[in-house]
Amino acid sequence: MLSATFVKNVKRPGSYCDDRGGLGLGLLVSPAIRGLNKCWTQSFRRQVGFMIP
């Protein structure tokens, strides 16, 4: 799970997910000039089309 403590203390670049059944929340950690860049990612699936009752 992506807790505040985990986000604060993560030291390795990589992609981390929330482990809550694929809700799409993630953390992307990448190297930077001074330490690490950390940014949130969100993935979702959009349904195309309309259902007519």
- Does the structure show a pLDDT above 90 at 50? no
Tell me the mean pLDDT in the region 7-26.
Answer: 85
Instruction: Summarize pLDDT for 20-36 with one digit per residue, the tens.
Output: 666 678 999 999 999 99
| Residues whose CB falls within 8 Å of the CB of residue 30, separated by 6 or more in sequence, listed in order | 13, 36, 37
- Does the structure show a pLDDT above 80 at 46? no
CB 29, CB 13: distance < 8 Å: yes
